[in-house]
């Protein structure tokens, strides 16, 4: 798919995500809007996965460590063919397998349960190490939030990945500058992130996390540095694509009312007109 095709698909995924949040009356729409371009590029351009065989041994793995944005992942998995597209309408309903955080025992394509922040990268390091030990070429990708990088477990994993020279591991930090209830700068400001990862022995690249050309180039196998794990600091906007949500801390898990929903949907539809 071309970058233009991927952007169109990401916009479609945002619209379906917005509809599902509105209908369910719950969700984490701000972070879902910021991570959608990254997920779209991974599943429709970069990763080698088989929707009809989600446990294929040589598949690439994605760990969505910021598990509260599970709905964005569900919509992407549905578009890719892992689950029926109509199942998105069951999000958060009684007995639905589409919970507020992803569950690998219930949803095909989910690699590990996430939600408690700081767990996904350590798991990803273990996955990448397993591939290295077995001499296999599949890749592991982990997406974290920037607020999540305040968790000490991430930095232990960062040290381990550098020590093991896991160049089959890519960490993507969704750097939208906001976390639940506050700005990153107001809590425990880790920015700038890139020099910190570099100091731990990682190859680091900073990109516009909404520019498909930059995303695909940074994620490509050709961008790997031999012997070094890679970190992509993706500069994004929480609530991206929706004027009143963009860069607004209130929309971490706020739900739009009917008027806001109609405005947001109109803005997303107009973006690709």
| Torsional sign, CA 21, 26, 29, 31 | negative
* pLDDT value of residue 273: 62
Residue 92 CA to residue 72 CA, distance in Å, equals 13
**Is residue 271 very low, low, confident or very high in pLDDT (cuts 50, 70, 90)?**
confident
Q: Which DSSP category does 52 fall into?
A: T
What is each CA distance from 251 to 18, 65, 105, 213, 260, in whole angstroms? 12, 19, 29, 27, 12
Q: Which helix (H) or strand (E) holds 228?
A: none
Answer for the pair 74, 88: CB distance below 8 angstroms, yes or no.
yes
Number of H helices, E strands in the chain: 9, 7
Place of tokens 């976390």: 179
Answering whether pTM is above 0.95, one says yes
pLDDT of 206 strictly over 90: yes
Rg (CA), the chain: 17
Average pLDDT, integer, range 184-208: 97
Answer for the pair 14, 264: CB distance below 8 angstroms, yes or no.
no
Tens-digit pLDDT profile for residues 214-264: 999 999 999 999 999 999 999 999 999 999 999 999 999 999 999 999 999
Ranges of each domain in the chain? 3-271
Tens-digit pLDDT profile for residues 107-151: 999 999 999 999 999 999 999 999 999 999 999 999 999 999 999
pLDDT of 158 strictly over 90: yes
CB contact set of 247 (below 8 Å; sequence gap of 6+): 176, 177, 178, 237, 238, 239
pLDDT of 50 strictly over 70: yes
Q: Which fold has domain 3-271?
A: Rossmann fold (3.40.50)
Tens-digit pLDDT profile for residues 228-242: 999 999 999 999 999
Tokens describing residue 231? 């970190």
Tens-digit pLDDT profile for residues 68-113: 999 999 999 999 999 999 999 999 999 999 999 999 999 999 999 9
Which phi and psi (to 5°) does residue 13 adopt? -65, -40
Residue 24 CA to residue 41 CA, distance in Å, equals 26
Strand locations in 112-264, DSSP E? 140-145, 169-175, 178-179, 182-183, 203-208, 230-235
Place of tokens 């809007």: 33
């Amino acid at each position: 798919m071309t970058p233009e095709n991927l952007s169109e698909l990401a916009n479609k995924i945002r619209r379906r995500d917005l509809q599902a949040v509105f209908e369910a009356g719950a969700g984490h729409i701000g972070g879902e809007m910021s991570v959608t371009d990254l997920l779209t590029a991974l599943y429709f351009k970069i990763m080698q996965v088989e929707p009809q065989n989600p446990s294929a041994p040589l598949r690439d793995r994605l760990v969505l460590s910021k598990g509260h944005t599970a709905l964005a992942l569900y919509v992407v998995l549905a578009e890719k063919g892992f689950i029926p597209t109509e199942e998105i309408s069951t999000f958060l309903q009684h007995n639905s397998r589409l919970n507020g955080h992803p569950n690998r025992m219930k949803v095909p394509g989910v690699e590990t349960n996430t939600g408690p922040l700081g767990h996904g990268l350590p798991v990803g390091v273990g996955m990448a190490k397993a591939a290295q030990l077995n001499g296999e070429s599949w890749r592991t990708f982990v997406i974290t939030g920037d607020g999540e990088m305040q968790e000490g477990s991430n930095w232990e994993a960062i040290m381990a990945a550098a020590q093991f020279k896991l160049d089959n591991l890519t960490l993507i930090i969704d750097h939208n500058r906001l976390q639940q209830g506050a700005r990153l700068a107001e809590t425990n400001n880790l920015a700038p992130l890139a020099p910190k990862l570099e100091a731990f022995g990682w190859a680091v690249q900073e990109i516009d996390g909404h520019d498909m050309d930059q995303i695909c180039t940074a994620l490509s196998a050709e961008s790997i540095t031999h012997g070094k794990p890679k970190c992509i600091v993706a500069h994004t906007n929480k609530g991206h694509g929706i004027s009143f949500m963009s860069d607004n801390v209130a929309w971490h898990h706020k739900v739009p009312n009917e008027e806001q929903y109609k405005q947001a949907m109109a803005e997303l539809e107009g973006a690709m007109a």
